[in-house]
Structure 1
Amino acid sequence: MTRPDKSPNAISPGFETDLINVPIASILPVKQLPDTVPKSQKYAQITASIREVGLIEPPVVSRAKGQGDAFILLDGHVRLLVLKEMGEEAVTCLVATDDEALTYNKRISRLATIQEHKMILRAVERGVPESRIAAALNVDVALIRRKRNLLNGICAEAAELLKARHCPINSFRALRKVKPLRQIQAAELMIAANNYTVAYAEAILAATDATDLVDPAARKSPVGVTREQAERMKAEMASLQKNIKLIEGTLGPDHLRLVVAGRYVERLLQNDRLVRFLERNHQEILREFRQIVAGLAQPAVSEVAEG
């Protein structure tokens, strides 16, 4: 029989394997919530969600050492408060194996706009009424319909570019006014500038030629923008688009050269004699070499964005 690995480097699980039902009276919070929390929008949304679909994410607790059946609440203070207000006496919890109160919300990948649209669309296709989705999210049903119809008039290529981006709903309204090719260009411009605001989308729309508009007759001049400013904006957008294409053409070869050079530096640092020499005589160079090697272990920017 294989014995469990008890070496210092062994990886131990961070949570117990089974969820447990814990009396709410046995859970000890680690912080006091402000009096303003019950009046906040977040509190109202959590209350609506629990009322409509139940508790989705269980609170995280750890066993209080030397206190019998008591538990320390690490994450889920608002959820626990809502359950108390609803008269619940027990809650299903995830039990952590240590008592470190991590800031779990900082490790959450927030749902992108298009991903939220797809989830709402799938729920509607499975027969969930829009009114119930709105009630669970504590929003107006009209907003759910807007999110459901988010990609109407948006080409598949532009949607693919923006699928992992936190792009406001009204930015898509500006994209619908231009033809598919211009939508792709606009999405590339927004990604290059890392700017997905409505104002930036409207600026791209203002700098779009009439031939690229879905309905040129419905075009309105931007408020406070002169014709000269609009023409200058159009020229700057065209220049930026050209620069993006140039960068895309050289990105692959440049990245390959950087990886090869980085691996060479990594091999140099495996030479103990060289490292000792650099430590004695050129510490700043050694520091730069180590930063290069550390950078090889980091994921590419595009991979992080897509994740």
Structure 2
Amino acid sequence: MPRSRGSRPISMAFEKDFIRLPLDRICPLYAVRTETKGTVKYRQVAASIKEVGLVEPLVVVPDKSDPGKYMLLDGHVRHAILMDLGDKDAPCQVATDDEAFTYNKRISRLATIQEHKMILRALEHGVPEERLARALNINVKSLQDKKRLLDGICPEAIELLKDKQVSLTGFRVLRKMKPMRQIEAAELMVAMNKYTINYARSLLAATPASQLVDPEQPKAVKGISRQQLELMERESANLGRELRLVEDTYGTDHLDLVLARGYVSKLISNARITRYLEMYHPEFLPEFERITETEALAS
């Protein structure tokens, strides 16, 4: 492998080719619980494997203590489903190192918009709606709802939420807002890292009538009076303005903070200054040391 002088060769995280392994040679790191097998997500994966087969391979690593055996790093649910279906082997991707404790952190779960695009792509390639619905373990009506997910959603809001786990109902709520308010609502969701249905409904409740697609339709929110809705609208507007102000000054404020923290760190590293503070301003020294510790943690 070519490399520049003094540099180290780059090692591959996985073997280049997939291999088929007998399931009895793969050792899961944990057993899939009965409660997990009763969830909707488990049934969806099981229906997909039964209908179209295993799409994503299992990820394994050779067991150093037992040649011929492999530890399962990722795919415990898929492995359990294959065992339940009576399959004897499965395609596997072999890792070159034990990533058991970090692999799942590097997986980007399928977001709602990504699933929508996957469904559109499958339909464009001629997959019948009935078969696709069976593979996803949903009915045809739900599949059609997922297909129309982004109808009435502006491109800017789609871009903000493209990799987020927003429910179908959340997008239905956004659809009731005009484009500019959709963007504001999406920005607030991202800033607060909240994508729940209740949060989307609270944003709708705080939306002025002028920013709704159908301003004539009253916003009936259970347990909230008209006065409380008006208060929420004002607070939402204030929060949006404050968010934009923070975005405008965040870069400068962060740079100022880094510089000030670095300066304090240099002061504390000077023994003469430290002794002076201990003698004449002992109340300052613990605070300065705390700032220095924060810098060490951030670096």
TM normalised by structure 1 equals 0.76
Partner of 1:19: 18
Q: 1:225 is matched with which residue?
A: 224
TM-fit CA distance, 1:30: 4.2
Q: Which amino acid counterpart does residue 81 of structure 1 have in structure 2?
A: A
Give the structure 2 partner of residue 194 of structure 1: 193
Does structure 1 conserve the Cα–Cα contact (< 8 Å) formed by 2:264 and 2:288? no
Distance 1:100 1:277, change over 3 A: farther
Conserved 8 A contact 2:265-2:292: no
1:91 offset after TM fit, Å? 2.0
* Contact 1:265–1:289 (8 Å) recurs in 2: no
Deviation of residue 154 (structure 1)? 1.4
Question: Which residue in the other structure is 2:68 paired with?
Answer: 69
**Aligned position for 1:55:** 54
- Is the 1:20–1:94 Cα contact (8 Å) retained in structure 2? yes
RMSD, matched Cα: 3.6
Mark the CA change 1:11 to 1:199 in structure 2 (over 3 Å): closer, same or farther. same
Contact 1:275 1:286 in 2 (8 A): no
Q: Flag structure 1 segments of 5+ consecutive residues without an equivalent.
A: 297-307
What is the DSSP-based 3-state SS (H/G/I as helix, E as strand, rest coil) of the residue aligned with 2:184? helix
Q: CA deviation at 1:10?
A: 6.8
Structure 2 residue aligned with 1:155: 154
Deviation by residue 1:12-45 (Cα, 9 ceiling, x = unmatched): 4443333222223333444444455544434422
Distance 1:34 1:88 in 2: 20
Amino acid at match of 2:292: F
Identity %: 49
User: Does the CA contact (< 8 Å) of 2:160 and 2:187 recur in 1?
Assistant: yes
Deviations 1:64-92 (A, max 9, x none): 44755333434333323322333332222
Q: How far does the alpha carbon of each residue in 1:220-272 deviate from its partner, in whole angstroms, 9 at most, with x for none?
A: 4322222221221121112112212222221232234345556x569959xxx
Q: Summarize the Cα distance change of 1:83–1:257 in structure 2 as closer, same or farther, 3 Å threshold.
A: same
- Paired amino acid for 1:168: S
* Aligned pair partner of 1:289 in 276, 287, 292: 292
- Pairwise mapping of residues 1-307 of structure 1 onto structure 2 (< 5 A)? 12-36=11-35, 38-65=37-64, 67-98=66-97, 101-102=100-101, 104-258=103-257, 274=269, 285=288, 288-289=291-292, 291-292=294-295, 295=298
Is the CA contact (8 Å cut-off) linking 1:265 and 1:293 kept in structure 2?
no
Structure 2 spans left out of the alignment, 5+ residues: 279-284
Moved more, 105-114 or 68-77: 68-77
Supply the distance in 2 between the matched residues of 1:48 and 1:243 (Cα, whole angstroms).
47
Aligned residues: 289
- Kept in 2, the 8 Å contact 1:60–1:76? The answer is yes
Contact 2:73 2:103 in 1 (8 A): no
